[in-house]
Amino acid sequence: MFSSQISIGSAVGKGEWNKVIELAKEEDEKVYSYTMIAYAYEQLKNINMAKKYYHLVLQEDENSLNALEQISMIYATEKNHDEAYKYIQIGLYNSKFDNNYIVKFFSFFIDVFKKILHPSYSFKNMRKATKKSNKSPNDWIRWALEYKNWYEKNIQK
């Protein structure tokens, strides 16, 4: 399992999206597998397949913040405001219970592990990348709150 996730991560790093799909379909952990497949399809601009797999993620784990964030942004881009709003509401509710302190605590250890796998990459750059990825949920929350306010003022009656 772990070695397949490393292979998938390597394919993501190289932008080999079809390989990501192929490898992820062999992965036993369904939420991880479906998430990686959805993300790969999104990168390939096959939005219908990306939505299909994000929905599969949500069937396995209805509280998956990653899937909720991505599917809400896809629907917003498609101007399917009712669906975007629905997933934003769920995502915002679930994000209240997301404990970022745990993520930050373990992110340091993930950085150490990344350094072992990629010794040529500087540790300083690893920390910057992790800190940037830790900020992304807050960026989505900010966007989701703005979208929610816009929707409630302009669309919802």
Q: What is the 3-state secondary structure (H, E, C) of the chain?
A: CHHHHHHHHHHHHHCCHHHHHHHHHCCCCHHHHHHHHHHHHHHCCCHHHHHHHHHHHHHHCCCCHHHHHHHHHHHHHCCCHHHHHHHHHHHHHHHCCCCHHHHHHHHHHHHHHHHHHCCCCCHHHHHHHHHHHHHHHHHHHHHHHHHHHHHHHHCCC
| CATH 3.30.450 applies to domain 1-61 | no
pLDDT of residue 71: 96
**pTM score, two decimals?**
0.72
pLDDT for 109 equals 53
**Residue-averaged pLDDT of the chain:** 81
Q: pLDDT class for 139, splitting at 50, 70, 90?
A: confident
Listed in order, the ranges of the chain carrying CATH 1.25.40 are 1-61
In the chain, the percentage of residues whose pLDDT exceeds 90 is: 43
Dist CA 22 CA 128 (whole Å): 30
Query: CA–CA separation, 114 vs 132, rounded Å?
Result: 15
pLDDT value for 79: 92
Quote the distance between the C-alpha of residue 118 and its chain's center: 23
Of 46-50, 96-100, 150-154, which has the strongest mean pLDDT?
Answer: 46-50
For residue 61, is pLDDT > 90?
A: yes
